[in-house]
A and B are shown apart, each in its own frame.
Chain A
Amino acid sequence: MTTSTAIRRPTELHARLVLPDVEIGICLGTGGVAAGGDEVFAAFEAGLAGTGVFAVVKPREDTCPGSCASIIGTGCRGMCAMDVLVDVLTRKEGVESKVTYGTVTEKMVAKIIEEHIIGGEPVHKWIVLSDDEPTSHNEFYQLQDRLVLRNCGTIDPEIIDDYLEAGGYRGLYKVLTEMTPERVHQEVLASGLRGRGGAGFPTGLKWKFAAEAPSATGEKFFICNGDEGDPGAFMDRSVLEGDPHSVFEGMAIGGYAIGADHGYVYVRAEYPLAIKRLKIALKQAEDRGLLGANIMGSDFSFHLKIKEGAGAFVCGEETALMQSIEGKRGMPRLRPPFPAQSGLWTSPTNINNVETLACVPWIITEGAEAFAGRGFEKSKGTKVFALTGKVKRSGLAEVPMGLTLRDVIYSIGGGMKDDKEFRAVQMGGPSGGCLPASLLDTRVDYEELNETGAIVGSGGMVVLDVDNCIVDTARFFLKFTQAESCGKCVPCRVGTVRMLEILTRICEGKGVQEDIGLLETLADDIKAGSLCALGGTAPNPVLTSLKYFREEFEEHIHEKKCRAGACAELTTYWIVAETCTGCRACSRACPVDAITGEKKEVHVIDPEACIKCGACYQKCRFDAVRRQ
Chain B
Amino acid sequence: MSVGQGVESAVEAGGFDEAPLRDLLETYQDQRGALIPLLQGTQAAYGYLPAEAMESIARALREPLSQVFGVATFYAQFRLVPRARNVVRVCHGTACHVSGAPLVSLEIERNLGIGDGENTEDMMFTIENVACLGACGMAPVMMINERTYGKLSPDSAVKAVKEFRAKEEAGNGSGDTSAVPEVEDADGEEA
Contact = CB atoms under 8 A, between A and B. Distances in A.
Interface in B25-46: 32-37, 39-40
B139 A388 contact: yes
Contacts of B148: 30, 33-34
A326 B75 contact: no
Interface string A206-246: 00000000000000000000001111111001000000000
A30 B135 contact: yes
Interface string A339-377: 000000100000000000000000000000000000000
B124 interface: no
A310 interface: yes
A182 to B, nearest CB: 30
Which of A308, A311, A477 is the most central at the interface, judged by chain B CB atoms within 10 Å of its CB? A311
Interface stretch (B2-10, B12-20, B80-88, B89-97): B89-97
A431 interface: no
A229 B135 contact: no
Contacts of B162: none
Contacts of B37: 308, 327
A311 B75 contact: yes
Nearest to A38: B178
Contacts of A312: 74-76
Which of A81, A473, A477 is the most central at the interface, judged by chain B CB atoms within 10 Å of its CB? A81
Contact of A34 (B33, B36, B77, B141): B141
A80 interface: yes
Nearest to A613: B103
B138 interface: yes
A470 to B, nearest CB: 11
Contacts of B131: 229, 231, 313, 480, 484
Contact of B137 (A31, A310, A327, A345): A31
A591 B35 contact: no
Given A231-B132, A327-B35, A327-B71, A31 B98 contact: no
Interface residues of B, number: 50
Contacts of B59: none
Interface in A374-390: 386, 388-390
Contacts of B187: 618-619
A426 interface: yes
A429 interface: yes
B51 interface: no
B146 interface: yes
Nearest to B89: A270
B151 to A, nearest CB: 8
A330 B73 CA distance: 11
Interface residues of A, number: 70
Interface string A434-459: 00000000000000000000000000
Nearest to A79: B137
Interface string A599-622: 000000000000101110011000
Contact of B33 (A311, A326, A417): A326
Nearest to B93: A231
Contact of B75 (A36, A232, A310, A468): A310
B134 A237 contact: yes
Contact of B39 (A103, A310, A330, A390): A310
B103 A270 contact: no
Interface in B124-140: 130-139
B136 A34 contact: no
B134 A34 contact: no
B74 A329 contact: yes
B63 to A, nearest CB: 9
Given A312-B76, A326-B32, A615-B154, A230 B132 contact: yes
A615 B157 CA distance: 14
B132 A390 contact: no
Contacts of A462: 94-95, 98, 136
Interface in A309-336: 309-313, 324-330
Nearest to B70: A329
A36 B137 contact: no
6 contacts: A80-B135, A309-B75, A327-B36, A328-B71, A394-B136, A394-B139
Given A345-B32, A389-B139, A394-B139, 15 more contacts: A31-B135, A33-B148, A34-B135, A35-B138, A38-B178, A80-B137, A231-B94, A232-B93, A270-B132, A310-B39, A327-B35, A388-B94, A390-B98, A484-B131, A591-B110
Interface of B: 32-37, 39-40, 67, 70-71, 74-78, 92-95, 97-99, 103, 106-107, 110, 130-139, 141, 146-150, 154-155, 178, 182, 187, 190-191
Lowest 10 CB-CB distances: which A-B pairs, in order?
A80-B137, A311-B76, A34-B148, A327-B35, A310-B75, A231-B93, A232-B94, A388-B95, A231-B132, A311-B77
